[in-house]
Amino acid sequence: MTLRVLLADDQALLRGAFRMLLDSADDITVVGEAADGREAVGLTRELRPDVVVMDIRMPEVDGLTATAEICADPALRATRILILTTYETDEYVARALRAGAGGFIGKGIGAEDLADAVRTIADGDTLLSPAATRSLVARFLATPEAVAPHHVQQLAALTPREREMVAAVATGLSNQEIAERMFLSPFTVRAHVQRAMTKLQARDRAQLVVIAYRTGLARVAPEGGADRLP
């Protein structure tokens, strides 16, 4: 299957470079380019790409606002957002997650890594490292006022195993790492995680992380690490 990608960046030279990098992959094709957030939203609705590679700082409408608008549209639920920016700050990463982005990487990424990032996001996984996930949750997401009542109610629909999987995902572990720790197959872990995402109406693993901490299913340990609840 060929992954369809939309590029959103206000610098034409960078868009051209990213297009060349991605089009060189056999399983990826760039279907469109946007110079600002407003155009990115319009083209996403028109072209329905699998992944939007989104810059943050753009004129008219910025990338985070465009991300939130795309992710809030039920008709675009299948589209994933990969934030690609030079501004790799904790605040921007947290805002990107809250807006619904599935990943956040810097523009210094290499060609092969960029293609892998697109594949990872398209597959519904988050691209944040465990350390970055814990840091973001500790600073921006694990606050009492962030708890969403409807998500707390939805937790009741999860099986004990699914709750355990969501808590593990919240620490930033990959499916492979969870499988190794729980002595399960990666396929079994993925199935549990996917079912939990469906029940919690999470677009991707990044949103699953946010829900886990907002609802108290996972919490930040006093020393700043991530701790799982029973």
Reported confidence tier of residue 215, pLDDT bands at 50, 70, 90: confident
Please report, for residues 10, 102, 163, the alpha-carbon distance to residue 62 in angstroms, rounded to integers and kept in the order given.
10, 17, 35
* Per-range mean pLDDT, top range of 34-48, 91-105, 214-228: 34-48
β-bridge partners, 5: 30, 51
Task: Pick the range with the lowest mean pLDDT from 26-35, 92-101, 139-148.
Answer: 139-148
Mean pLDDT of 133-158: 63
The torsion region of residue 184 among left (phi > 0), alpha (psi -120 to 50) and beta comes to beta
Q: What percent of the chain has pLDDT over 90?
A: 44
Token look-up 């709750």 returns 163
Work out whether the CA dihedral 212, 215, 216, 221 comes out positive or negative.
Answer: positive
Question: Quick one: pLDDT at residue 54?
Answer: 95
Distance CA 171, CA 24 (A): 34
**Residue 201 pLDDT level (bands cut at 50, 70, 90):** confident
Residue 86 has what pLDDT? 77
Q: Per the CATH hierarchy, to which homologous superfamily does domain 3-127 belong?
A: Response regulator (3.40.50.2300)
> Does 82 or 170 have the greater pLDDT score?
82
- Equal fold, 3-127 vs 135-228: yes
Give the DSSP H/E element, type plus range, for residue 176: helix 175-182
**What is the structure's pLDDT at 70?**
96
Condensed to tens digits (0 to 9), the pLDDT of residues 30-83 reads 999 999 999 999 999 999 999 999 999 998 899 999 999 999 999 999 999 999
Percent share of the chain, pLDDT over 70: 82
pLDDT at 36: 95
Domain range annotation of the chain: 3-127, 135-228
Q: Looking at per-residue confidence, does 138 or 215 come out higher?
A: 215
> Is 160 a residue whose pLDDT tops 80?
yes
What is the CATH code for 135-228?
A: 3.40.50.2300
